[in-house]
Copies of this chain bind each other. A is one copy, B any other.
Amino acid sequence: MPRTETRDTARQILEIIPVVMRTVAAELRSAGEMPAPAHFGLLTILGDQPRTLTELALLQGVSLPTMSNSISTLVQRGWVKRSSPAKDRRVVLIEVTPLGRATVERVGKAAEAHLSERLGTLDAASRRRLRAGLGVLRAVFADAPPAALRSSRRTSARTPASNG
């Protein structure tokens, strides 16, 4: 990609993502008993299979303490539960509860309701572009975490360059 095009894309991301984030967060807040946007992906990941804290931190790109605190919040609300396999008592396995599954479903519906208002004005082509673009974003930022799964932790689970 030409340099200027990359620059432009970078600026677009910087301008738009925070706005989307705020909007989504506000809508979830207003919908009552909902997971924070940062926790929704977590519940979705856990919907597939139980995971350890370290795996989750790597997958989401946050530090271990942050993930530990996030999970504590989700546990408090009854959406996931911790368990320690007898095999290796250091690790903590996180599983989603039935209530957690129901909540993901509920959030999906609420988000759909809010979003359908906004998406209503779009033509079919724009909706297709939106979905395609989200797919690329996922590929770039979620499916291919920078240096995850082989970072050296103890300096956080992030890529070295990302440390504050």
| Residue contacts A-B, CB under 8 angstroms, 8 given | A7-B109, A10-B108, A11-B108, A14-B41, A17-B17, A18-B40, A119-B140, A131-B133
Beyond A23-B61, A164-B29, whether A9 also contacts B141 by CB under 8 A is no
Chain A 6-45 interface mask (CB, 8 Å, partner B; 1/0):
1111111111111111111011011000000110110010
Is A77 engaged at the interface, CB distance under 8 Å to the other chain? no
Within the complex, the shortest CB–CB distance from A128 to chain B, in Å, comes to 9
User: Which of A48-56, A78-86, A87-95, A155-163 has 4 or more CB atoms under 8 Å from chain B?
Assistant: A155-163
Give the oligomeric copy count: 2
Q: Which of B17, B119, B133, B142 sits near A6, CB closer than 8 Å?
A: B119
Instruction: Please tell me if the beta carbons of A111 and B24 are within 8 angstroms of each other in the complex.
Output: no
Q: How many A residues touch the partner, as a band?
A: 35 or more
Contact B22 A62 (CB under 8 A): yes
**Interface presence of A99 (CB below 8 A):** no
A155 smallest CB distance to B (angstroms): 12
Q: Judge whether A154 is part of the interface by a CB distance below 8 angstroms.
A: no
Q: A102 contacts the other chain (Cβ, under 8 Å)?
A: no
In the bound complex, do residue A141 and residue B111 qualify as a contact, i.e. CB atoms below 8 Å apart?
A: no
A115 interface neighbour in B6, B158, B164, Cβ under 8 Å: B6
A121 with B144: CB separation less than 8 A? yes
Q: Are B9 and A17 in contact (CB under 8 A)?
A: no
- Is A44 a contact of B61 with CB atoms below 8 Å? no
Known contacts A30-B161, A61-B23, A164-B26; is-contact A137 B7 (Cβ 8 Å): no
